[in-house]
Amino acid sequence: MVRIGVLGLQGAVREHVRSIEACGVEAVVVKKVEQLAHIDGLIIPGGESTTMRRLMDKYGFIEPLKQFASEGKPMFGTCAGLIILAKKIVGYDEPHLGLMDITVERNSFGRQRESFEASLAIKGVADDFIGVFIRAPHIVSVGGDVDVLATYEGRIVAARQGQFLGCSFHPELTDDHRMTQYFIHMVKETKE
C-alpha cells in the first residue's frame, strides 16, 4: 500500500489530498516530523515559500526533509514547493532544501491578479494538461541530469530529476489528476 504525504504547514493541502485520493491512494497530511517515517513520497504544496520556510524552521522540518530525500524517497514540489526544492533561487543567497539541481525565479509570471490557465504538453503525463498559474515561479535553468517536462512561452514550468518532480503550476486545483498520478507512479517505482 502506497502512502503519499502532503506537507501540511501551509498552502493548498486539502486539494492535494483530494487529488491523491482520487487516484486511489492513501493521503497523509504531514504536520509532524515523525510522520515522515510512515510515508513513501511527499508533496510540498503551493502556498507562500517564505511563510512555508518559516514554519519548516519552527517545526524542525529542514533536516528531516533532507534525510527523507537522502533515503531516495520521491518528493514533488508544486509552485512554492518547487522553490522549496530548488538548489538556487534568483535574488537569494541560500536555498531552502536545495535538493533539485535547478534555479528558480519567484513570481516570474506576475502577482496574484495575473493568475491564468494555460494548456501544457507535459512529457510522460499529457499533451493537453491545463496548468493553473498563481503567482507562479519558473525554472530559469537546470542541471545536466534534470529532465525538462514542460515549457510555457519559452519558460520551463515542469521538470524531473530522479526522485524529484517540480512544477510551477497547481495541478491539484483542477479535476485532472494525471500529474498526481505521474508522481504516484514514481513513488510506486521506488517501492518495487
Look at residue 111 in the predicted model and tell me its pLDDT: 56
78 vs 158: CA distance, rounded Å:
9
- Active-site pick, 16, 79, 105, 177: 79
Catalytic residue among 96, 138, 170, 177: 170
Q: State yes or no: 19 annotated in a binding site.
A: no
Supply φ then ψ for residue 51, to 5 degrees.
-65, -45
49 known member of a binding site: yes
**Domain ranges (residues) in the chain:** 3-190
Whether residue 135 is annotated as binding a ligand: the answer is yes
Rg, C-alpha atoms of the chain: 15
CATH no. for 3-190: 3.40.50.880
Residue 178, number of CB atoms within 10 A of its CB: 17
Q: Is the sign of the CA dihedral 107, 180, 54, 84 positive or negative?
A: negative
Count of CB atoms situated within 10 Å of the CB of 186: 18
**Amino acid making up residue 187:** V
Query: Is 38 in the active site?
Result: no
Catalytic residue (choose from 16, 96, 172, 177): 172
Question: Is 53 annotated to bind ligand?
Answer: no
Report whether 47 belongs to an annotated binding site: yes
* Catalytic site includes residue 167: no
- Establish whether 79 is a catalytic residue: yes
Residue 110 has a pLDDT of 60
pLDDT tens-place values along the chain, 192 residues long: 899 999 999 888 999 999 999 999 999 999 999 999 999 999 999 888 889 999 999 999 999 999 999 999 999 999 999 999 999 999 999 999 999 999 999 877 665 556 899 999 999 999 999 999 988 899 999 999 999 999 999 999 999 999 999 999 999 999 999 999 999 999 999 987
